Amino acid sequence: MDLADDPLGALSAYDGELPVLVTNRAAWEGGEATGDDERLDALAGAAERAAVVAIDVELESLFAERGAAVADHARANDAAVVASVHDFETTPPRAKLRELLEDATDHADVGKLAVTARTRSDVLDLLAVTVNLAKRGRRVATMAMGEVGRYSRAVAPLYGSKIGYAPLDLADATTPGQYDLATLSRLVRELRG
C-alpha cells in the first residue's frame, strides 16, 4: 500500500480472482509509509475489503496497542495476520532468528522473517530455523535477501516457509535478490518435483 497512490481505492476496485495480501510498510522497516496511526488505520481499512485475505504488519507494531488492535480488526474481518521482521544489514545468529520467528508466530497467524545473507552459512542458519519451527507447527515465511541468499526464495518452501514474495516484473523488485514471479513459481514447482 505504501507504494500506491490510492491503495484503498485500488482494493475496492479490484475484481480479480486472486486473493490479496496487503502491507503498508513503515519507513523504519524499509517501506515508504510514514505516520504510524494513519498507516495502521489504512491497513485496518484494507482488511475490510473482500479480496484481502491477509495483512502483513511489522512485528514491532504488534507489540503496541494500536498495532494489536489492527490485528484484531483484521481477524474480525476474516483476514489473517502476518507479522514481519526485516533485517537489511545482516543475518542474526541462529538463536536470535528462532526468537524473532517465535515472537512473530506468537503474535500473528504467520511469522515472516527476511534477513540479509552475507554468506551461505547465513542461509543455512535461516533454513535450519525455518524447518525446526515448521516441524513444531509454527507457520513461518522466511527468505534471505541479497544475491548470496537469492536461492533461499526458491528452496525455503521445501523447509516449511508458507509465503514467497516476488514482483510480476523484476524491474519492480523491492529488495535485492528477488526473482520475478514466473521464475520463482517455476523454480518452486520444479524443486517440489
Catalytic residue among 73, 86, 107, 162: 86
pLDDT, one tens digit per residue, over 101-137 is: 999 999 999 999 999 999 999 999 999 999 999 999 9
* C-beta of residue 40 within 8 angstroms of C-beta of residue 82: no
CB-based burial, 73-87: b 16+ in 10 Å, e otherwise: bbeebebbbbbbbbb
pLDDT of residue 185: 93
In SS3 terms, 163-177 reads as CCCCCCCHHHCCCCC
Query: What does the DSSP assignment read for 78-132?
Result: T-EEEEEEE-SS----HHHHHHHHHHHHHHSSEEEEEEE-SSHHHHHHHHHHHHH
Catalytic residue among 73, 107, 112, 162: 112
Determine whether 112 is an active site residue: yes
User: What fold characterizes domain 7-165?
Assistant: TIM Barrel (3.20.20)
Which residues contact residue 128 at a Cβ distance below 8 angstroms, ignoring those fewer than 6 apart?
A: 94
pLDDT of residue 86: 95
Determine whether 73 is an active site residue: no
Q: Where are the domains of the chain?
A: 7-165
Alpha-carbon span 109 to 161, nearest angstrom: 13
pLDDT of residue 176: 81
153 pLDDT more than 90: yes
**Percentage of the chain with pLDDT > 90?**
85
Region for residue 137 given its phi and psi (left: phi exceeds 0; alpha: psi -120 to 50; beta: otherwise): left
150-156 mean pLDDT: 95
Which among 166, 171, 169, 168 is positioned nearest to 143, based on CA atoms?
166
Which residues contact residue 65 at a Cβ distance below 8 angstroms, ignoring those fewer than 6 apart?
A: none
For 68, the 3-state DSSP assignment is helix
147 pLDDT more than 90: yes
